[in-house]
Structure 1
Amino acid sequence: MQLRLAILANAGGVGKSTLSVHLAYEVSGQGFKVALLDLDPQRSLDVFCGLEGADVTETMAHVLSKDFKGNWKLVPVWDNSGVEVCQGHPTVAEIANDLVIRKRGEYTLADRLKKYPLPHDLIIIDCPATIGMLTINALAAATHVLVPIQLEMKAIAGSAELVEWCVTSASELQLEPRPPILGFVPSMYDSKIAMHRQYLDQLPDIAAQLEIKLYPAVRSSNEFKNASAYGIPIQKWRQLHPAAKDFTKIASDVVKLIKHK
């Protein structure tokens, strides 16, 4: 049984795609096959993976359409790394509107993965920046959830709301088992910014109150931007850069879950 990890946040620019890409690369480096599914109409994964825009019939928009018959289109990235991507498309937003009125619309992605399963050990679902039908689809399809948190008041305050949304939505969708939140991931941390240090110090108490694991922070670094300019993860761009190790603990837990399953 594969692990399906939904990367959720209730705001944009919090590092969902950065986390998705670098976690995929880290896990694949340990010999596992990873699929990245891009549910974000902004198509951030195209940039991070060095991909050109794809025809709509080769994207997640087609996977969620009524015409899908199992012909997944996944593109291998990073020189046979073991990572493949099903790209996003702007029309995914239009598909989301159709899912609202479609029978079992909330379960479309879960149904696709059940009827037309992918052979990968890990599926990472990169979600949109807003909570809506696409995010509900990700939750319904996921076995676990991972939440990146930007070190700003609004993002931290919204973390409790997001946890409550996950619990309530899983209950309403009657998901069994309910996908647990694997952890919070502080993102874009800059130790030179006093506000970042202050909020990072507060997060352990918040995570403990919510009974959510808190992972080490992913630092802010221009090397992430430099790497994405070439469509590769920082581990390939600058292997010895300290930020290349920021995903090690999360990847270790994910690998343990894959092996357990």
Structure 2
Amino acid sequence: MNMRKQKVVIGILANAGGVGKTTLAVHLAQEVSQRGVKVAILDLDPQRSLDVFCGLPAANTENSIVQVLAKDFDGKWPLVSVWDNPSIEVCQGHPSMAQLASDLVIRRRGEYVLADRLKAYPLPHDLVILDCPATLGIICENAIAASTGLLVPIQLEMKSVSGVADLVQWLIGTAEDLMLEPRPPILGLVPSLYDKSRAIHRQYLQELPEIAAKLKVKLYPQIRDSAEFKNCSANGLPLSKYRPAHPACKDFKTIVNDIVALAQEGKA
């Protein structure tokens, strides 16, 4: 299964909720779309936070990612455009993803269903972003098998920082167990929800370069904590559409540059 022949697929994974996975997903989608990259976001999380962030009404099962992963999927991806931007489409999540996970455990090639769907019914987008659940189970294994690269948002709190090495090892070990070839690289750690007024955040941020170096993983610049991220998500918009002049819009620039470069390589 050589996913390098597919479009660029970025899985966003963490082993805890509330670390900024969906914030990262929607803002990367918005920013890369402004550079001519067509994006699909697939919501693999039964909590379906992506609906809120995109201002979408809840989807039924037949119009969600559950249908894509069902045995009788007919190849018609249930996608909806967001933010009046034809370059961004979303495949919505659904709470029944939790039940589907139990079904995948006993299905033949259960860990590869999403990868199989993307291979058999490829999306026309240049980039696919996978917004993953916080539970490291078979849904995340599907994301790893389908991805060409992984991003790991990390909150600057003791539990998240101390657990990042275990998470990275789990990601690497899962790719090995699934015998992926090539194995999706970890593109980088993304410090999120950074509050420079908090001494503990400043301390952990200073420690992260050494941790990343030991793990041989790139460390991206931090994404600041801002009330405007909460405000824009409550309005179903990315920050660059809600408050275009807000300085936090620039926090994603380095990651966006890398992803656009990958997407352009995929077109070549």
* Pairwise TM-score range, normalised by the shorter structure: over 0.9
3-state SS of the aligned residue for 2:123?
A: coil
Letter in 1 for 2:138: M
2:153 is the alignment partner of 1:133: no
Q: What do residues 152-181 of structure 1 show as CA deviations (whole Å, max 9, x unaligned)? A: 111011111111011111111000000000
Letter in 1 for 2:34: G
Q: What do residues 4-23 of structure 1 show as CA deviations (whole Å, max 9, x unaligned)? A: 00000011110000000000
Alignment of 1:48-67 (within 5 A): 48-67=53-72
Mapped partners of 1:70, 1:236: distance in 2: 32
> Which of the numbers 195, 201, 215 marks the counterpart of 2:206?
201
Q: CA deviation at 1:42?
A: 0.3
2:224 is the alignment partner of 1:219: yes
Mapped partners of 1:142, 1:80: distance in 2: 24
Structure 1, 135-144 or 58-67: larger mean CA deviation: 58-67
Q: CA deviation at 1:111?
A: 0.4
Letter in 2 for 1:79: D
Mapped partners of 1:216, 1:167: distance in 2: 23
Alignment root-mean-square deviation, CA: 0.7
Letter in 2 for 1:55: N
Q: What do residues 193-216 of structure 1 show as CA deviations (whole Å, max 9, x unaligned)? A: 000000000000000110100000
| Structure 2 partner of 1:3 | 8
Mapped partners of 1:157, 1:61: distance in 2: 33
Q: What do residues 228-258 of structure 1 show as CA deviations (whole Å, max 9, x unaligned)? A: 1111100111111111111111000001111
Gaps of 5+ in 1: none
> Which of the numbers 103, 111, 119 marks the counterpart of 1:114?
119
Q: How many residues align?
A: 261
> Which of the numbers 213, 236, 252 marks the counterpart of 2:257?
252
Q: What do residues 89-121 of structure 1 show as CA deviations (whole Å, max 9, x unaligned)? A: 000110000000000000000001111110000
TM-score (norm 2): 0.96
Alignment of 1:170-181 (within 5 A): 170-181=175-186
Mapped partners of 1:144, 1:190: distance in 2: 28
Mapped partners of 1:157, 1:105: distance in 2: 31
Gaps of 5+ in 2: 1-5
